[in-house]
Chain A
Amino acid sequence: MLTRRIIPCLDVRDGRVVKGVRFQNLRDAGDPADQAAHYEATGADELVILDVSATAEGRANAAHTVAAVRAVLGIPLTVGGGIRAVDDAARLLEAGADKVSVNTAAVDDPSLLTRLSERFGAQCTVIAIDAARRAPGVAAWEVVTHAGTRRTGMDAIAWAREAVARGAGEILLTSWDQDGTRAGYDTELLTAVSEAVPVPVIASGGAAHAAHLVDALHAGADAVLAASIFHDGETTPSALKAVLAAAGIEVRR
């Protein structure tokens, strides 16, 4: 039986980790490779690197970052941010990413998913979907892009189905309502999407406690992504897994 995965996310800008973990045993808290090795050693099942560089120059560093992380990392690595074309993805995969994640570029041109999947395989192609409720308490979500600033009007569930039909092998699903709130994942959204598609769904946005992870996994998520929950050293993937296991969820320990 497949275990449920815990996936830390590193935000990287211009080759440096922003909002990283503040652990004293790290030589350099801004170094992505040091952070990556630390996460693997503390029980992470996979790692996501999100390149949040604002400039093309900054993004050109992403391949160097990926190569440095790959040299030390023995678990799967997904890289997202700024991928607009097959060639962008090819550079990151050659540098050592195992999967690439696309978001706005796929909304602008859904054929990008097909081209990525045909060239590299569905196992390499992750669709990141940012979803916001159409209104509080309403079980309908629309896709938002450009870091939540643009509402597309597209139905998030329908987009998830289309993305999978076009070749996405995994969905990284962020609730834009919950992201940054530390109030827990949007479990209703997770159930709706995971029932709509056959591929794994990674929950993102809102985690602050182990109980939030348990809720997301019970709601149908195959994996949980978290960032800030690890930043103050208040917990580790291994510590969270102990709680998940006690709740009857199978995890790798």
Chain B
Amino acid sequence: MRIIIGVADMKVSSQAEAELITYSLGSCLGVVVYDPLVRVGGLLHFMLPESQIDPEKARRNPWMFADTGIPFLFKEAYKYGADKGRMIVKVAGGSQIMDDQGFFNIGKRNYAAMRKIFWRNNVLIQAEDVGGMINRTVRLELSSGRVWLKTSGEGEREL
């Protein structure tokens, strides 16, 4: 069973036969968490670094922003029995367009905001594929915890 995560969206599941997938990560970041003991996994596809840009939107859709979406993802995984100490974290996305002056460098800002949250909360990233100018698709198999990364125009590889 394939569970699709849209832009500014998140899903957590413990169904062994399920896989979580998010398409079209441009400057957005995909954050995958997985607890191998209880086989609970989650995938967040956030768009922007900080919710202060639109607090009302953040209330309705916390998954749009790093600072509201990431804590939400972890808390939701805990509800399913995941444990922070066991959780494996992988991230992908954060691309940018060619832009000397940084008007469009949301990808970099997304990554920085995420790192700050992880650093404050002692979360280590086990694997990542970030930056550059490519579109990415990320897929988590809940039975095995394997994470697959597809770059547009190329094949799929394990992250």
A binds B: no
